[in-house]
């Protein structure tokens, strides 16, 4: 039960963090500063937690790479499409990819209830179509790439959290080190404008960084407590929060259709795991 509470809070916080990234004037610097803020929160914890086991450290190193790729793809997706369209795609498709990968690579079965959930989720995702012009095709491409990165890092991070001496140890090391790659990317890409961009983004980012730390931190703890597949599906209830926030906060079009589709998508994803 505690894992379920953690993951639902995580889903809500995750949607809000991504909304703030979408709204920002410079998404790359904004996302980098969110990571830095989370890293600053996590850094003192390193003095109180156990060192990572070799296996946990291996998963952490792999995870840092895929999280960097995920964040770059997310920034690109938000640059080309509506938040209420691309966010549910990237979160929902990631679960479908995880399930299909488990079927192909691990020979996991697809009982009737799981197939029904897969069908419902797939039909719901169609409702988030983003159009056929060039910008919308790019949004779809980056959203699908983001989904692939999510599917990979979720399985990897779950294994890393379970391999660590404690969940808090993995959380502390993860957030401390995750800040480095994207911050270096932003410094190189923005060059002499990096400091000025930081000054514009810092107020919003401070709050988002706290949400990011607790959001994914709770997710990692939940992954350690329960089965990865079950927790992954529940976390994707964030698609509902994403669709609602996109409509209410950003005033994006097709609001009612996307909110209804998000509820159906979340129901399909949960059915998949019940199966």
Domain locations along the chain: 2-274
By CB atoms closer than 10 A (0-12, 13-18, 19+), residue 210 is middle
Place of tokens 């923005």: 190
What is the rounded CA–CA span in Å between residue 254 and residue 274? 30
Q: CA nearest 174: which of 207, 241, 223?
A: 223
**Helices 194-225 & 27-42, crossing angle to 10 degrees?**
60
Place of tokens 């998508």: 265
Task: For residue 127, report the phi and psi dihedrals to the nearest 5 degrees.
Answer: -70, -10
Residue 252, H or E segment: none
Q: According to the model, what pLDDT value does residue 138 have? A: 87
Torsion sign, CA atoms 250, 244, 254, 84: positive
What are the DSSP calls for 128-171, one per residue? T---SSHHHHHHHHHHHHHHHHHHHHHHHHHHHHHHSS-HHHHH
CA dihedral 147, 153, 154, 158 (to 10 degrees): 180
Helix, coil or strand: residue 12:
helix
Rounded alpha-carbon distances, angstroms, from residue 165 to 240, 246, 248: 34, 39, 42
Mean pLDDT, the chain cut into blocks of 10 residues (275 residues total): 79 87 90 91 90 92 95 93 86 78 66 80 72 70 91 83 83 90 94 86 80 81 69 74 84 78 82 71
What is the rounded CA–CA span in Å between residue 168 and residue 197? 32
For the record, the structure tokens of 59 come out as 């998963």
Residue 159 neighbours by CB distance under 10 Å: 18
Separation of CA 150 from chain center: 6
Q: According to the model, what pLDDT value does residue 228 have? A: 64
Provide the whole-model pTM. 0.83
Q: According to the model, what pLDDT value does residue 129 have? A: 63
């Amino acid at each position: 039960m505690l894992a379920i509470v953690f993951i639902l809070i995580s889903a809500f916080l995750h949607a809000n963090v991504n909304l703030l990234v979408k709204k920002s004037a410079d998404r790359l610097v904004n996302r980098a500063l969110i990571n830095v803020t989370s890293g600053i929160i996590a850094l003192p914890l390193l003095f109180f937690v156990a060192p990572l086991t070799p296996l946990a450290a291996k998963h952490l190193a792999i995870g840092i790479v895929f999280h960097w790729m995920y964040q770059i793809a997310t920034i690109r997706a938000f640059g080309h499409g509506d938040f209420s369209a691309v966010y549910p795609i990237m979160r929902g498709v990631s679960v479908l990819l995880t399930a299909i990968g488990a079927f192909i690579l691990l020979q996991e079965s697809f009982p009737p209830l799981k197939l029904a959930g897969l069908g419902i989720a797939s039909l719901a995702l169609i409702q988030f179509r983003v159009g056929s012009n060039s910008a919308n095709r790019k949004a779809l491409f980056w959203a699908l790439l983001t989904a692939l990165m999510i599917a990979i890092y979720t399985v990897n991070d779950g294994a890393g959290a379970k391999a660590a001496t404690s969940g808090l140890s993995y959380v502390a090391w993860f957030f401390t080190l995750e800040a480095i790659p994207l911050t270096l990317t932003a410094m190189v890409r923005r060059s002499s404008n990096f400091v000025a961009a930081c000054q514009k983004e810092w107020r919003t980012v401070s709050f988002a960084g706290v949400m990011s730390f607790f959001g994914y931190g709770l997710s990692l703890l939940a992954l350690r407590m329960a089965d990865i597949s079950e927790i992954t599906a529940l976390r994707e209830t964030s698609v509902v929060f994403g669709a609602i926030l996109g409509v209410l906060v950003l005033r994006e079009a097709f609001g009612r259709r996307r909110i209804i589709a998000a509820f159906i998508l979340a129901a399909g994803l949960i059915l998949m795991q019940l199966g």
